[in-house]
A = this chain, B = another copy of it.
Amino acid sequence: MSDTNAVRLNAQVRIVGTGLLGASIGLALRSLGIDVALADASPSSVHLATDLGAGRPAHADDQPKIIVVCVPPDVTADVIEAELKAFPDAVVTDVASVKLAPLHQLQARGVDITHYVGGHPLAGRERGGAISARGDLFLGRPWVVCRDEETPAWALALVEDLVLDLGAVPIEMTPEAHDEAVGLVSHVPQIVSSLMAKQLEGASDEAVRLAGQGVRDVTRIAASSPELWIQILGANKDSIVGVLENLQKDLQSVTEALRDVDAPGARKVIAEEMAAGNAGVARLPGKHGQNRRYAQIVVLIDDRPGQLAQLLTELGELNINLEDLRLEHAEGAQMGMVEFSVVPEVRETLIAELTKRDWRVA
C-alpha cells in the first residue's frame, strides 16, 4: 500500500451500510489511521461495527470527503441519491455488484451524478455480516471503477486512491462492460451451481457417500444467500438471460444426444460440447492472475503435530518459497498429503533434496 494515498485520503471517509463489505473497508481504513464515520439503517449494526474497530458512529456535523455506499443492490440508488444531497461536496461511490441498474435509476430521477463514481470490489466471503469482516478482504482483488464521461478527474482519482489504500487493484470499465462480465463469470455460475445442488436435495445417503471433490467444487457457491442473489440477478437480468439461453440450448443438445447415444453423430455432439468446455476453462487466468503455471509436489507425512512444521522448516532451510500449499487428510488413514506449488525451475532439485532427507515424495 502506498503511503501517499493514505496521506491524500487522510480525510474523513463515511461508510453507509456496515455489513461485510462496509465493515471490512472500515477495518482496513482504520488500520491506516483514517477517520471512518459509520452509518447504517440499523443502529445495532453500527454498534457492532464500531466494537469490531471498523470506525466510529457518524455525527451530524461530519464532513466526509468520500462516501462509500455498501447497502444491498435494491436500495443502492436510493442511498446514493440521499448521500449526494446530504453531502454535496463529497464524492460518492458504492460497492454494488451491478452497475447499470443504480445508474439508470439515478439518471431517471434526474439526480446530478457528477460526484458519483460507481465501484465494485470482486471480493466476498461465504458468510456475510460485519462479524465476518476482514481488513484484508480486498488485498490483491480486482475492484471495478466505473467512470462517466462527466466524471471529473479528481473524483475518479479519489476513488482509485481509496481502492489502492484497501490493497485492491482498480480496473476502469464502463457499467455496461462490467455488468456483462460479472453476468458471465459470476452470476450465471451462481445459478448453475445452485441448480446442480438442487438436484442433490433428494439424493440417497448411499449416493452422497460417493460424492467426490468434483461435485463439491461445482456446488460450493450454492450455499450463498438467496435473498442477496435475487437482488443481484434481478438487477442484471439483461446480461444473464442471454447466457442462460445458450446454456439451455447446450444442455438440450447433450440431453438429446445422450437419450439416443448410438444414433449417428450423437457422440460427436457430446464430445464437441465437452471440448468447448476444455477451451472455456482454459480462458480463466491462473490463480495468481497470470498464466504462469507452478509445479506441484506431493509429500506424505504422518498425521501428527510437528510433522508439517518440520517439513516446512526444511523447505525454509532449502530457501524454497511456496506458491501454494494444501494439506489433505486421507479418510481413515493416519497420514496426510501435503501438496504444494513451487516455480517449475526448482522442482527437480527440490524432489531430490526432500528424498535425500527421507521425506516420502509421492
A residues sitting closer than 8 Å to B (CB atoms) are 122-123, 134-136, 139-142, 144, 167, 169, 171, 173, 177-178, 180-182, 184-186, 188-201, 203-204, 206-212, 214-224, 226-227, 229-230, 233-234, 237, 240-241, 243-248, 250-252, 254-255, 258-259, 261, 267, 270-285, 287-289, 298, 300, 303-306, 308-310, 312-316, 319-333, 335, 337, 340, 362
User: In the complex the two chains form, is A212's CB within 8 Å of B186's CB?
Assistant: yes
User: In the complex the two chains form, is B245's CB within 8 Å of A255's CB?
Assistant: yes
CB contact under 8 A between A198 and B284, given known A251-B244, A309-B309: no
User: In the complex the two chains form, is B136's CB within 8 Å of A330's CB?
Assistant: yes
16 further A-B pairs in the complex, CB-CB below 8 A; given A171-B210, A203-B283, A248-B248: A167-B333, A185-B200, A185-B208, A186-B211, A189-B196, A198-B277, A198-B280, A200-B280, A200-B284, A211-B285, A215-B284, A217-B221, A226-B271, A233-B261, A244-B254, A327-B340
User: In the complex the two chains form, is A181's CB within 8 Å of B198's CB?
Assistant: no
Partner of A267, one of B199, B230, B310: B230
User: In the complex the two chains form, is A331's CB within 8 Å of B169's CB?
Assistant: yes
18 residue pairs from A and B, CB less than 8 Å apart = A177-B206, A186-B212, A186-B214, A194-B276, A195-B251, A195-B277, A199-B246, A199-B247, A203-B283, A226-B278, A229-B270, A245-B255, A288-B329, A289-B331, A306-B316, A308-B316, A309-B313, A324-B329
CB distance from A355 to the nearest CB of B (A): 14
User: In the complex the two chains form, is A207's CB within 8 Å of B221's CB?
Assistant: no
The residue on B at minimum CB distance from A237 is B258
CB distance from A26 to the nearest CB of B (A): 15
B-side contacts of A270, CB under 8 Å: 226, 229-230, 233-234
CB contact under 8 A between A139 and B234, given known A185-B207, A284-B208, A320-B305: no
A312 to B208, CA, bound (A): 34
B-side contacts of A195, CB under 8 Å: 192, 247, 250-251, 254, 273, 277
A224 to B271, CA, bound (A): 11
B-side contacts of A211, CB under 8 Å: 185-186, 284-285
A281 to B201, CA, bound (A): 8
User: In the complex the two chains form, is A217's CB within 8 Å of B218's CB?
Assistant: yes
A144, A173, A241: residue with the most chain B Cβ atoms closer than 10 Å = A241
Partner of A185, one of B194, B203, B324: B203
A239 to B279, CA, bound (A): 27
CB distance from A172 to the nearest CB of B (A): 10
A181 to B204, CA, bound (A): 8
A135 to B246, CA, bound (A): 42
User: In the complex the two chains form, is A309's CB within 8 Å of B316's CB?
Assistant: yes
CB distance from A70 to the nearest CB of B (A): 18
CB contact under 8 A between A324 and B328, given known A196-B189, A277-B195, A279-B201: yes
B-side contacts of A204, CB under 8 Å: 177, 181
A181, A192, A289: residue with the most chain B Cβ atoms closer than 10 Å = A192
